Amino acid sequence: MDPSEDSYFPTQLEFGEAFRSAFHEFFGDEKDLQYELYDLKSEGSGPKAKWATFSIRNPLGGRSIVFRFDPDSGTFYAMLKVQVIPGEEDWSLDSFFHKNGFSEIGSAEVQNTAGEWLFHSLARHYLGTIFSNCPRILEPDYKLEP
């Protein structure tokens, strides 16, 4: 399929590029940190079938941050995923930031004020907060509970 025929394709490109460029702005080259960056998308039909994700993964630390956007509903979430035995814990970054006093605003407030630079605003909010307050959040020795 020609990408120009896919109305969702520009959204996916903008979403992934916004988070990738913000990551590089704040943290530099992911290879220097031994992190992995991933862009994924789904193009199915029906409710919640279309989405874009951007993941930052520390394979040595068993932690990932996943940003996900559903273009049909406009919903967004940011989660820290921590591998534990026997599975995985999900931590809402909005709740984590608020609880630790890193930020009073969440994705809904960012979306309301972002305008046409929605994904860049979301990326700068989340990655800037992490860079300023918890840059080692993906490291296994970073304590999530006080």
Whether residue 124 has pLDDT greater than 90: yes
Give the tens place of pLDDT for each residue, 5-21.
445 445 666 899 999 99
pLDDT attached to residue 14: 86
* Reported pTM: 0.86
- The residue whose two tokens read 């941050």 is 65
CA quadruple 44, 115, 91, 10: dihedral sign:
positive
**111, 74 in Cβ contact below 8 A?**
yes
Q: Where are the domains of the chain?
A: 8-130
Mean pLDDT (whole number) for 81-85: 87
